[in-house]
Chains A and B, each alone.
Chain A
């Protein structure tokens, strides 16, 4: 039976102070599709502004041989056996000014843009003569592949925690604010408002049988929406016929977006095999509140912790209900200038940390200044990612494994630390134990392109047939990281 969700329940107080009981009630699934195939999922979580040195574990090896670093401590307990930390991966795609194939001191935006694409956006823009371009990102390669496409109502989802007015480093802002790219020319902007994410999920979720008087009203609403959308499509097609090729492509982007919305508001019935989650009708849902989406600089008017918790719950819901299997999640934009005054500064050593008093200042400066503040902010973001992993691990699937076991969570950033270096990247994988990943290890590699990690995931975990990815300029031949694979 459908659960009615009141606006009050969804938004408590101002802004995004979302509380979660309603989400839990939503996700209580009455039943699940019979004998489902294993849903193989991918969840890249973006760590802004690199990581402090205390990210990297002091010891390496498998099982007992390696211990968590002080920053990765939130992955302690039941998560450590599901963790991989990979050291010495480098993004070898970004050029230096002299044309050499290396990556020191590139800007935040340039490295951030290359994180999931392994392509230097500056180079592609020059080649195509466009103001904005990049490469397709690894999550979108998956989402567009028949192994994923059409299996779930949403091909993929892009979410993030905030859109503060961080500098874009003179690059198109999509470089530092979008890690997912559907093609060389199409950045996929993320949703930052939990309410919008909720709409997105509910709008495409299979709805319970519509019967009764409310259903007649809903039917009328859909008919009204249909006549609006029909006019919009007619107008756009008429206009499109008058345009040149490149503007027609822009109009196609528009038409594609209109059709996606049509699916939701006209209620074209979904033949997708999403798990039968009990969602309310989209027409009954509350509208987004502007206060939840205003630019946020500090926690004075905004609770970043609550924002993260709400987004975590929505991501878990999307996976549990099998609405999508590919989600990219930015904990912050690259070159984040967010003032973490919600977080108490901690004193860090390689072995642990303890509260120190005082709160954390603006992130970008703190990153470059290094020290405890940088470590604390990295740690706080890691802890939010760990919260989500723990949540995914509590949801059991039909085959007895947890959602986390059927998901590869990639937690990482685009630069090493405070010096804009694109090598020795912070990279961890969580979960994937049921998908063929060997876990519980700190793998210290010899300098390896990040591309090889993606090739390993695409081929050995998701069983795509991909021989090369991105544009690595270090000269290393494409390869797989066999140490990551079990058996």
Chain B
């Protein structure tokens, strides 16, 4: 069976990504997506299939904070998580096991105790006298609505009322009995999972999400948390399912401080801000230490935030000459005019001629895309082509010699060698040149920055740095400025943001059936006369059927 051609084909298909080592460019996409009926009406496009979605640690902590008002953050480093497609909110890989459920169970106990012990927190759900039966019911209903993110049905209310009654029978007073009931709600699947229901679970026919399901999708996308009361109200009266209300809701949510979580989770993962903190750097780079790593990581988030908040065109992300520097980064970059004097207090600066143009000039990006003791034009190229243009080449073939070894073989010092020259020798291997030529050029243009992102004018062995490159069948350009310009004009750059946002927003990996949704959103986003801001793209994606619909089946 293992030798069967089919099996082999399956493997190869999985290994070779959608965008192979041919000329770059977006795959063919049909904007009508086959959505037209014979009689001219339109049927919804396939919205894709999404798994039951367990909250990840970030979402759990944010949810209990927003809903309960607690300061406790029960989800810590040992809580179970997983990642796929660079994000930690992908439903298909978020499992539960007994150990993780035990953590939920214990956390629920702590949270319920914390809430009931505090008068203002308890008042969020209990606004009457619990000695009155109707009050018990309405209080359970109030907590259930916020935690399950939808109103409880009467049978459900009865389930949790039984918990309250059992506690009273055991001799607990009213607050203690309510605490146990809250614990039961917090321990329940409908709190821990985002449940979306198909009317016909095995049918692949698309149907619109229910208004409360849509509210949850929105709030976990933009806030990493449960819907607030305004959002629940818009779900309750059905207005949320109207496109105009949806749009004003997105605007309101992006203007809410809770949208900072979109920046730390989405940009924090996609743009590598989290990785900067853990990125290994050799001691020989003595200017790099944990504080500078923290500042460089923060700068990536602030840079993205500036684009999200200002409404600036995403296409300027590679070219805008903006930096966010605190005292450490100002010194690191050599910006004597910066006024920041503290660590962690950032100043927005725009210095022409500072050699820090755009995202690819940020120290955090330049460091995290390097090896620990030298630059790697291939790795930088991969992070640009694969991560920022969504055009990942296939993995390298076996038995690749290391540049260090090749340098040593050719008599060069393996710690100071000229990376560009050695790489050019290396990629002359016939099996290598195809893919290397697609990615390396992007990285070679950044050789004017060393492995931690400091500007340099020569390699350690004294040989000069050459940043002139030519893309395969494409333009020639020079250095950071040239790179920024080329990436900014590459149609894949905008499309890639759409794909990443949709992956994160849906919490699932994308498939071919998502291409028409992405294309429709891009058509709207890039329509002439309008600025292609991150906000407008989020609006377009949220309005797409991939976001507002679902289907059952496999």
Report A's interface with B, CB cutoff 8 A: 95-99, 102, 104-105, 107, 120, 122-123, 125-127, 130-132, 163-168, 172-174, 186-189, 191-193, 196, 199-200, 203, 220, 223-224, 227-232, 234-236, 238-239, 242-247, 250-251, 253-254, 256-258, 260-261, 264-265, 287-288, 290, 293-295, 297, 337, 361-362, 364-365, 471, 473
Asked whether B92 lies within 8 Å of A131 as measured between CB atoms, the reply is yes
Given contacts A99-B12, A132-B82, A227-B180, is CB(A257)–CB(B100) below 8 Å? yes
Cα separation A215 to B457 with both chains bound (whole Å): 76
Enumerate 22 A-B pairs (CB-CB under 8 Å) in ascending A order.
Answer: A95-B11, A98-B397, A102-B398, A107-B395, A126-B14, A165-B278, A173-B83, A203-B102, A228-B105, A231-B162, A231-B163, A235-B156, A239-B195, A244-B552, A244-B553, A254-B96, A254-B189, A261-B98, A290-B76, A365-B282, A365-B371, A471-B2
Asked whether A228 lies within 8 Å of B180 as measured between CB atoms, the reply is yes
A31 to chain B, nearest CB (A): 29
Which residue, of A96, A174, A244, has the highest number of chain B Cβ atoms within 10 A?
Answer: A244
Q: Closest residue to A158 on the B side, CB-wise?
A: B99
Contacting residues, chain A, for B100 (C-beta < 8 A): 189, 257
- Proximity bits, B156-178, A CB within 8 Å = 1, else 0: 10011011001100111000000
Contacting residues, chain B, for A168 (C-beta < 8 A): 83
User: Which 3 pairs of residues, A with B, have the shortest CB-CB distance?
Assistant: A126-B14, A244-B201, A260-B98
A479 to chain B, nearest CB (A): 17
Asked whether A236 lies within 8 Å of B274 as measured between CB atoms, the reply is no
Given contacts A247-B51, A250-B52, is CB(A105)–CB(B396) below 8 Å? yes
The listed residue (B10, B51, B93, B197) touching A123 by CB distance below 8 A is: B10
Cα separation A102 to B398 with both chains bound (whole Å): 9
A264 to chain B, nearest CB (A): 7
Within 8 A of A (CB), among B87-124: 90, 92-93, 95-102, 105-106, 108, 110
Cα separation A360 to B108 with both chains bound (whole Å): 41
B185 to chain A, nearest CB (A): 8
Q: Closest residue to B49 on the A side, CB-wise?
A: A246
The listed residue (B159, B371, B398) touching A104 by CB distance below 8 A is: B398
Contacting residues, chain B, for A98 (C-beta < 8 A): 397-398
Q: With an 8 A cutoff between CB atoms, is B509 at the interface?
A: yes
Asked whether B78 lies within 8 Å of A235 as measured between CB atoms, the reply is no
Asked whether A126 lies within 8 Å of B11 as measured between CB atoms, the reply is yes
Asked whether B14 lies within 8 Å of A196 as measured between CB atoms, the reply is no
With A96-B398, A235-B189, A337-B280 known, 4 other A-B pairs at CB within 8 A are A232-B187, A243-B52, A250-B193, A365-B280
Q: With an 8 A cutoff between CB atoms, is B80 at the interface?
A: yes
Which residue, of A196, A243, A264, has the highest number of chain B Cβ atoms within 10 A?
Answer: A243
Q: With an 8 A cutoff between CB atoms, is B183 at the interface?
A: yes
Asked whether A131 lies within 8 Å of B10 as measured between CB atoms, the reply is no
Q: With an 8 A cutoff between CB atoms, is B462 at the interface?
A: no
Q: Closest residue to B14 on the A side, CB-wise?
A: A126
Cα separation A199 to B8 with both chains bound (whole Å): 45
Cα separation A471 to B101 with both chains bound (whole Å): 33
Contacting residues, chain B, for A130 (C-beta < 8 A): 92
Cα separation A364 to B110 with both chains bound (whole Å): 39
Given contacts A102-B398, A131-B84, A337-B280, is CB(A227)–CB(B166) below 8 Å? yes
Cα separation A364 to B81 with both chains bound (whole Å): 22
A486 to chain B, nearest CB (A): 34
Cα separation A164 to B52 with both chains bound (whole Å): 28
Q: With an 8 A cutoff between CB atoms, is B77 at the interface?
A: yes
Asked whether B99 lies within 8 Å of A191 as measured between CB atoms, the reply is yes
Asked whether A105 lies within 8 Å of B398 as measured between CB atoms, the reply is yes
Contacting residues, chain B, for A364 (C-beta < 8 A): 280
Asked whether B101 lies within 8 Å of A261 as measured between CB atoms, the reply is yes
Q: With an 8 A cutoff between CB atoms, is B554 at the interface?
A: yes
Asked whether B78 lies within 8 Å of A163 as measured between CB atoms, the reply is yes
A478 to chain B, nearest CB (A): 13
A143 to chain B, nearest CB (A): 14
B81 to chain A, nearest CB (A): 8
Asked whether A236 lies within 8 Å of B82 as measured between CB atoms, the reply is no
Q: With an 8 A cutoff between CB atoms, is B522 at the interface?
A: no
Cα separation A362 to B373 with both chains bound (whole Å): 12
Cα separation A428 to B372 with both chains bound (whole Å): 32
Q: With an 8 A cutoff between CB atoms, is B238 at the interface?
A: no
Given contacts A95-B11, A165-B278, A239-B190, is CB(A265)–CB(B180) below 8 Å? no
Given contacts A223-B166, A223-B170, A235-B156, is CB(A99)–CB(B8) below 8 Å? yes
Contacting residues, chain A, for B95 (C-beta < 8 A): 186-187, 189, 253
Asked whether B398 lies within 8 Å of A362 as measured between CB atoms, the reply is no
Contacting residues, chain B, for A95 (C-beta < 8 A): 11, 15
Cα separation A174 to B90 with both chains bound (whole Å): 13
Contacting residues, chain B, for A203 (C-beta < 8 A): 102
- Proximity bits, B458-494, A CB within 8 Å = 1, else 0: 0000000000000000000000000000000000000
A467 to chain B, nearest CB (A): 15
Given contacts A223-B170, A227-B163, is CB(A131)–CB(B11) below 8 Å? no
Contacting residues, chain A, for B398 (C-beta < 8 A): 96-98, 102, 104-105
Asked whether A231 lies within 8 Å of B188 as measured between CB atoms, the reply is yes
Q: Closest residue to A300 on the B side, CB-wise?
A: B290
Contacting residues, chain B, for A227 (C-beta < 8 A): 162-163, 166-167, 180, 184
Given contacts A174-B93, A223-B166, is CB(A232)–CB(B188) below 8 Å? yes
B144 to chain A, nearest CB (A): 10
Cα separation A24 to B185 with both chains bound (whole Å): 39
Asked whether B554 lies within 8 Å of A220 as measured between CB atoms, the reply is no
Given contacts A172-B84, A191-B99, A257-B96, is CB(A293)–CB(B78) below 8 Å? yes
Q: With an 8 A cutoff between CB atoms, is B39 at the interface?
A: no
Contacting residues, chain A, for B352 (C-beta < 8 A): none
Cα separation A293 to B107 with both chains bound (whole Å): 15
B82 to chain A, nearest CB (A): 5
Contacting residues, chain B, for A224 (C-beta < 8 A): 166-167, 170, 172, 180
Q: With an 8 A cutoff between CB atoms, is B202 at the interface?
A: yes
Which residue, of B76, B106, B160, has the highest number of chain A Cβ atoms within 10 A?
Answer: B76
Q: With an 8 A cutoff between CB atoms, is B13 at the interface?
A: yes
Contacting residues, chain A, for B509 (C-beta < 8 A): 131
Asked whether B8 lies within 8 Å of A235 as measured between CB atoms, the reply is no
Given contacts A172-B93, A231-B184, is CB(A362)–CB(B98) below 8 Å? no
Q: With an 8 A cutoff between CB atoms, is B155 at the interface?
A: yes
The listed residue (B96, B280, B396) touching A362 by CB distance below 8 A is: B280
Q: Closest residue to B373 on the A side, CB-wise?
A: A365
A310 to chain B, nearest CB (A): 14
Which residue, of B171, B187, B371, B373, has the highest number of chain A Cβ atoms within 10 A?
Answer: B187
B195 to chain A, nearest CB (A): 6
B2 to chain A, nearest CB (A): 6
Cα separation A119 to B11 with both chains bound (whole Å): 12
The listed residue (B13, B14, B188) touching A235 by CB distance below 8 A is: B188
Q: Closest residue to B97 on the A side, CB-wise?
A: A257
Within 8 A of A (CB), among B1-43: 2, 7-8, 10-16
- Proximity bits, B491-506, A CB within 8 Å = 1, else 0: 0000000000000000
Cα separation A239 to B197 with both chains bound (whole Å): 9
Given contacts A105-B400, A293-B76, is CB(A287)–CB(B188) below 8 Å? no
Contacting residues, chain B, for A238 (C-beta < 8 A): 155-156, 159
Q: Closest residue to B509 on the A side, CB-wise?
A: A131
Contacting residues, chain A, for B282 (C-beta < 8 A): 361, 365
Contacting residues, chain B, for A193 (C-beta < 8 A): 78
Cα separation A167 to B383 with both chains bound (whole Å): 14
Contacting residues, chain B, for A246 (C-beta < 8 A): 51, 554
Cα separation A290 to B74 with both chains bound (whole Å): 8
Q: With an 8 A cutoff between CB atoms, is B528 at the interface?
A: no
B193 to chain A, nearest CB (A): 7
Asked whether A365 lies within 8 Å of B180 as measured between CB atoms, the reply is no
Contacting residues, chain A, for B166 (C-beta < 8 A): 223-224, 227
Contacting residues, chain B, for A97 (C-beta < 8 A): 15-16, 394-398
